[in-house]
Amino acid sequence: MRRKNLKTWLITENRGGLMDIYEIINQARKEGRKKLLEHEVYAILQKFELPVPKFGLATTPEEAADIASKIGFPVVLKIVSPDIIHKSDVGGVILDIKSTDEALDAFNKIRKNVSERAPKARVAGILIQEMVPQGLEVIVGGTRDPTFGPVVMFGLGGIFVEVIRDVSFKVVPVTEYDAEQMLKEIKAGKILDGYRNMPPRDKKALVDIILKTSKLLDTVDEIQDVDLNPIMSYEVGRGAKIADARIILR
């Protein structure tokens, strides 16, 4: 039976872990935001055991260095602001940080860049994130269709999803069989089986991500869109990891 809203369901069912999700969503609503900030997105995805990178939000250089040290190098530093869409355009992203000293310097550099190029932007902090190793880029996404309700999508990720548009859709709730079929339905699906010098990908890990994304949409009615892109898909036995993610509220 469809829940009237997430808050009522959480209170009624006493789902402690998911209450944190409601608090994140409620805070975004209070601030007039439909798009969640990156650390908020990762926190929600973690609740559904999706493979997000290690991360932390820093508001001081010392915090940044401490978080980076705990995550382990290399890391990425990214500005977190509801007013900045393209972080790189304002110097808000620095990659491949390999020491605490570099983390301190990168924090200060990003803060200086943003203050000069986007002085009116609200800044929540700077995200310190594990630098995800390169793999085959795929995408898992979801939206609420006005006719079919929540649907999940799978396809090649990165720039390919926009250029090639080779994707598969299924209506939520998605079964394991559905998810396996999604991997086969895209035209480039054979790449997942290995092609020339590319080894086969860990399909079980991708199926697991699709199923958990379906569960996320089926559980949290307040989510309109979720976009996990790119997901780095690795060789069989090495799994997959989300490198970037976005959630838009209804």
Q: Are 154 and 235 within one domain? A: yes
* Residue 153 maps to a domain: yes
Range of the structural domain that residue 217 is part of: 136-249
Residue 25, in any domain of the structure: no
Task: Classify the phi-psi angles of 184: left when phi > 0, otherwise alpha if psi is within -120 to 50, otherwise beta.
Answer: alpha
User: Do both 245 and 198 map to the same domain?
Assistant: yes
Last residue of a domain, one of 130, 149, 165: 130
Is residue 168 in a domain? yes
Count structural domains, the chain: 2
Contacts of 77 (CB under 8 A, 6+ apart): 64, 68, 93, 94, 97, 103, 106, 107, 110, 126, 127, 128, 129
Which tokens hold the place of 239? 């799994």
Per-residue DSSP letters for 198-222? Answer: BPPB-HHHHHHHHHHHHHHHHH-TT
Task: Please give the chain's pLDDT, 250 residues, in tens.
Answer: 344 455 454 444 435 557 789 999 999 999 999 999 999 999 999 999 999 999 999 999 999 999 999 999 999 999 999 999 899 999 999 999 999 999 999 999 999 999 999 999 999 999 999 999 999 999 999 999 999 999 999 998 766 666 667 899 999 999 999 999 999 999 888 889 998 888 999 999 999 999 999 999 999 999 999 999 999 999 999 999 999 999 999 9
| Position 73 in a domain | yes
Same domain, 203 and 144: yes
99: domain CATH number? 3.30.1490.20
Asked whether residue 91 falls in the same domain as residue 157, the answer is no
Q: Are residues 84 and 177 in the same domain?
A: no
Verify that 203 and 158 share a domain, yes or no.
Answer: yes
**pTM here?**
0.89
- Whether residue 114 is found in the same domain as residue 165: no
195 and 102 housed in the same domain: no
